[in-house]
Amino acid sequence: MDEPQVAPPRTHRAGGGREAKRAARLARAATSVPYITRKVGVYEVLDEEGLATIERNADTILAEIGIDYRDDPEALDIWKKAGAEVDGTRVRCAPGMCRSIVTASAPHDFIQHARNPARSVAIGGKNTVFAPAYGSPFVRNLDEGRRYATIEDFRNFVKLAYMAPSLHHSGGTICEPVDLPVNKRHLDMVYSHIKYSDKAFMGSVTHPERAQDTVELAKIAFGDRYMDPVGGKPNTVIVSLINVNSPMTYDATMLGALKVYARANQACIVTPFILAGAMSPVTVAGTASQTLAEALAGMAFIQLLNPGAPLVFGSFASSLSMQSGAPTFGTPEPALVLYVMAELARRLGVPFRSGGSLCASKIPDAQAAFESAQTLLPTCLAGVNFVLHVAGWLEGGLAMGYEKFVMDVDQAGMMHTLLEGVDLSENGQAMDAIREVGPGKHFLGCAHTQANFETAFYRSPLADNNSYEQWDAEGGKDIAQRANAQWKKQLAEYVEPPLDPAVDEALLDFISRRKAAFPDSNV
């Protein structure tokens, strides 16, 4: 696997004196890596025996119960030819069959190329890639409250994600631009990712034609870099989210998009989307077995379509409030599912997607933060490779929060430091400092502190660590109010990444031809 290079640090304009120092500090803080390569180990909750039990149960589900592939005769045909037992729309695979198909050809990891090569991401292995939240019809900010999202919001979040040193990916449907027709908005979304960011992005999955449009736009954007001259296949430049209709069902929409992407050598994230208690049993082990079975079925199908096509094993699991029927987030059961699924993905040898900064709270309050942290930290410690929903998620995914977005970006920055682990170099051991200072003195002025203090600790741009008196004198703001000022400042300072005008013109030309080719529709 070739290693993408570290992106060059972005610099900010510096004023004089104190402001210059602040700008210089921000510039250093903004030094970003294209993705995280974990230097610490993973946390695991099941041993060999427990994992084998889950795997055996998944095999039983695939062999005895089977998976439905609805409204897609081609899919049934492919499974029949592969040796599965097909009964109506139900497909049953002998124990071990799906696993063998996956392990025979699915890549252990792959590069998703970004428009800016320095921002290409390695998905799999010890790497973790952070992407913004996905799919909200609403947005929320302190000024306007909650309202439907527009393409302007979409562009804003692409810009904020581009500027966020701790987000490695531009994401996909960051929010639904409901001011645009359903059957054409994907063109504006994909264009926005290409135009306003140079990070890697995700494709449309709501119709096979929209998936094909995504591929065509990517061909224009990547030009000569779309095809890999060595392998003779397209480079992977799109990652897309294929949700399973749990329990145990794939529908024609998702299968249609999956087929377009898999055949074009673009990566699919096969994700059983489960609210445990409704779409799976109320237990962690039951949910894990079902998730594994469903994901294995989808991943094997991809390898049958195009052996060697890149893919990601996905798991989205929330538990259901048994009182209200609403999904809950940041509770311990989904965290346990996450740890188990990450272990199972490692055993299978494929990249894994899960987690994020999930919450049920409608506003960026302490509930949102507790729930988000109780999802993001397990995500990182479990060793998840691709993390959707890292920034902005509110209200079970129904709303994208502007303040929540920059708060989550800050937390994601902390995860970079955590996953760096402990520096055991001589400078890290700091015995010289301890010798210099000695009992009863302080370390503030010692040579080691002076040499290291600029980079010593993660610096949050949002946390207020000042004295109570100073905080009070500055208006006694909560973090959401500080976040409000920050996203506005960032949008005001945004500078577009360079894009070849000829490429831009070609993209716009393709889009206008496609938009003219059929009438607007909201289906």
- What residues from 455 to 514 belong to the interface with a second copy (CB under 8 A)? 456-460, 462-468, 471-472, 476, 478-480
Q: How far apart are CA 158 and CA 190, in angstroms?
A: 10
Question: How many residues form the binding site for a second copy (CB under 8 A)?
Answer: 123
Minimum distance from residue 174 beta carbon to a second copy (Å): 19
Judged by beta carbon, residue 374 or residue 385, the one nearer a second copy is: 374
The total of other beta-carbon atoms located within 10 Å of residue 148's CB is 15
Return the structure tokens found at 335.
């965290």
Contacting residues for 114 by C-beta, under 8 A, at least 6 apart:
34, 120, 121, 198, 199, 200
Minimum distance from residue 271 beta carbon to a second copy (Å): 17
For the segment 105-164, give every residue that binds a second copy (CB under 8 A).
146
Choosing from 211, 255, 295, 340, the residue that interacts with a second copy (CB under 8 A) is 340
Judged by beta carbon, residue 104 or residue 447, the one nearer a second copy is: 447
Minimum distance from residue 443 beta carbon to a second copy (Å): 6
- Note whether 266 binds a second copy by CB under 8 A: no
Judged by beta carbon, residue 429 or residue 512, the one nearer a second copy is: 429
CA distances from 396 to 275, 328, 361, 372 (A): 11, 8, 7, 11
Judged by beta carbon, residue 308 or residue 461, the one nearer a second copy is: 461
Q: How far apart are CA 296 and CA 288, in angstroms?
A: 12
Minimum distance from residue 514 beta carbon to a second copy (Å): 34
For the segment 203-262, give every residue that binds a second copy (CB under 8 A).
245, 247-249
- Note whether 447 binds a second copy by CB under 8 A: no
DSSP designation for 234: B
Q: What would the DSSP string read from start to end of 266-333? A: -EEEEEEEEEETTTB-SSHHHHHHHHHHHHHHHHHHHHHHSTT--EEEE-EEEEEPTTT--EE-S-HH
Stretch that binds a second copy, among 2-10, 411-419, 495-503, 505-513 (CB under 8 A): 411-419
For the segment 296-325, give every residue that binds a second copy (CB under 8 A).
319-325
Looking only at Cα atoms, what is the longest distance across the chain?
A: 79
Stretch that binds a second copy, among 54-62, 164-172, 180-188, 344-352 (CB under 8 A): 54-62
Judged by beta carbon, residue 419 or residue 503, the one nearer a second copy is: 419
- Stated as kind and residue range, the H or E segment containing 49 is helix 48-60
Choosing from 80, 147, 441, 489, the residue that interacts with a second copy (CB under 8 A) is 441
For the segment 32-51, give every residue that binds a second copy (CB under 8 A).
40-41, 43-46, 50
For the segment 346-405, give every residue that binds a second copy (CB under 8 A).
360-374, 377-378, 381, 395, 398-399
Q: How far apart are CA 207 and CA 183, in angstroms?
A: 9
Stretch that binds a second copy, among 200-208, 209-217, 448-456, 515-523 (CB under 8 A): 448-456
Q: What would the DSSP string read from start to end of 422-448? A: ---SHHHH-HHHHHHH-TT--STTSHH
Q: Please choose, from the candidates 300, 293, 213, 216, the residue with its C-alpha nearest in 3D space to the C-alpha of residue 262.
A: 300
Judged by beta carbon, residue 188 or residue 343, the one nearer a second copy is: 343
Minimum distance from residue 142 beta carbon to a second copy (Å): 12
Q: Please choose, from the candidates 136, 100, 90, the residue with its C-alpha nearest in 3D space to the C-alpha of residue 247.
A: 90
Minimum distance from residue 214 beta carbon to a second copy (Å): 28
Judged by beta carbon, residue 13 or residue 18, the one nearer a second copy is: 18
Choosing from 82, 252, 437, 508, the residue that interacts with a second copy (CB under 8 A) is 437
Judged by beta carbon, residue 230 or residue 444, the one nearer a second copy is: 444
Q: How far apart are CA 352 and CA 342, in angstroms?
A: 6
For the segment 72-91, give every residue that binds a second copy (CB under 8 A).
90
**Backbone phi, then psi, for 107, in 5-degree steps?**
-70, 145
Return the structure tokens found at 367.
């509930």
Return the structure tokens found at 57.
């149960």
Contacting residues for 235 by C-beta, under 8 A, at least 6 apart:
111, 113, 222, 225, 226, 227, 228, 265
For the segment 153-172, give every residue that binds a second copy (CB under 8 A).
none
Choosing from 14, 68, 95, 252, the residue that interacts with a second copy (CB under 8 A) is 68
- Note whether 9 binds a second copy by CB under 8 A: no
